[in-house]
Amino acid sequence: MFDQYCYYWDYNEFYKMIKQIGYFVEIVKGSLITARHFWVNLSLHILNLFHIKTKRKGAVTIQYPEVRQPLAYRHRSMHRLMKHTDGKPRCVACMLCATACPSECIYVEAAEDPDLEIQKYPSKFIIDLTRCCFCGFCVEACPEDAIRMDTDEIELARYDKEELVFDLDKLLG
């Protein structure tokens, strides 16, 4: 008889309900943000259409990869090693780039060059791009301007990690 009037509070159900309300609130918040961006951008585009100057222009969608934005002048893309006019690498295997690299992704092995002007050249030069953070320290550290990051190559996704380990031949292009 007493059980009939006794109220059992189910905590699990209660937490589930709170969670569901939380999800719903987040969905509404997200939708409101999207709607705000949509209307603000649409308004900016309409104003610009009528040559009314606004502080900022409306956002546009770039149809990447069919359409590409030009890269900034000081961008850092994939590395390359520079060559002398005779085709020899400009690198003198001083290891400064490898020392400066915070990710320890450069490996240089030096060999002696019979040319006294050059003295040393890299018999091995490997950059493991899977570890590279594109900080550009290697370029800054190089006293010979032998390494640059101006290839415009920024699409570095590969199916195989090994393909992102670049050796001397690949870096010299």
Can you give the binding site for ligand SF4, defined by CB under 6 A?
91-97, 100-103, 105-106, 108, 127, 132-138, 141-142, 144, 146-147
Chain-centroid distance of CA 41 in Å reads 27
Rounded Cα distance between 78 and 89, Å, is 17
| 3 state SS of 14 | helix
We find the least distance from the C-beta atom of residue 36 to ligand SF4, in angstroms, to be 38
Rounded Cα distance between 40 and 158, Å, is 38
Identity of the residue, 138 or 172, whose beta carbon is nearer to ligand SF4 in the bound complex: 138
We find the least distance from the C-beta atom of residue 70 to ligand SF4, in angstroms, to be 22
Identity of the residue, 48 or 137, whose beta carbon is nearer to ligand SF4 in the bound complex: 137
Q: Confirm if 131 and 59 have CB atoms less than 8 A apart.
A: no
Identity of the residue, 26 or 167, whose beta carbon is nearer to ligand SF4 in the bound complex: 167
Identity of the residue, 48 or 144, whose beta carbon is nearer to ligand SF4 in the bound complex: 144
We find the least distance from the C-beta atom of residue 73 to ligand SF4, in angstroms, to be 18
Strand order in the sheet with 120-128: 106-112, 120-128, 165-166
Q: Confirm if 151 and 75 have CB atoms less than 8 A apart.
A: no
We find the least distance from the C-beta atom of residue 21 to ligand SF4, in angstroms, to be 46
